[in-house]
Amino acid sequence: MGAADKPMLPFLQMKGFLGTGATFGADLNLMVQLVMGVALLMGGLLARQKRYAAHGVCQTTVLLLNLLMIALVMWPSFHQQVGPIFPRVFHKRYFTVATIHGALGMAAELLGLYIVMVAGTHILPQRLCFKRWRLWMRVELMLWSAVLLSGLWTYYVWYIAPWS
């Protein structure tokens, strides 16, 4: 393992706390993702109550926290365990679930960043801004739900029933 392969935060590689084969980072990420899922639903309720500023703060905070979790836990794990041998092993469940989760997650994160740019800034030209807010928010919520479910699936395949 070269210097570039060493984890940025070594404590994330310690044994996890959920009693599975996961690292501390994977267990922490799982808990954070579940809390963020609840926060996204609560943010949706804020929007229904027409508390749009609170909704924006809630959803943007989750989006940015997720970006941090991607950078610290998910991307390094994917890069180390899947990247070097992909796509030769795509037919194996261990690699397939992580790849599906990563693709869905990338789409959700990019759409979320786009929504924040449209809603909270004037960076984009008007022609690139959407008008149908409810539609795009619902698409993002459904996409994020799929990412959360595929993340649970990935955790299960990687740490609870690996290589089965």
pLDDT > 50? residue 3: no
Per-residue pLDDT of 95-153, as tens digits, reads 889 889 999 999 999 999 999 999 888 898 988 888 888 898 889 999 999 999 999 99
pTM: 0.82
Nearby residues of 73 by Cβ (< 8 Å), 6 or more positions away = 12, 25, 26, 28, 29
Architecture category of domain 16-160 in CATH: Up-down Bundle (1.20)
Rounded to an integer, what distance in angstroms lies between the CA atom of residue 79 and that of residue 159? 17
Query: Which secondary structure element, helix H or strand E, spans residue 139, and what is its range?
Result: helix 133-155
Domain boundaries, the chain: 16-160
| DSSP result, 99-119 | HHHHHHHHHHHHHHHHHHHHH
Q: Return the bridge partners of 23, or none.
A: 15
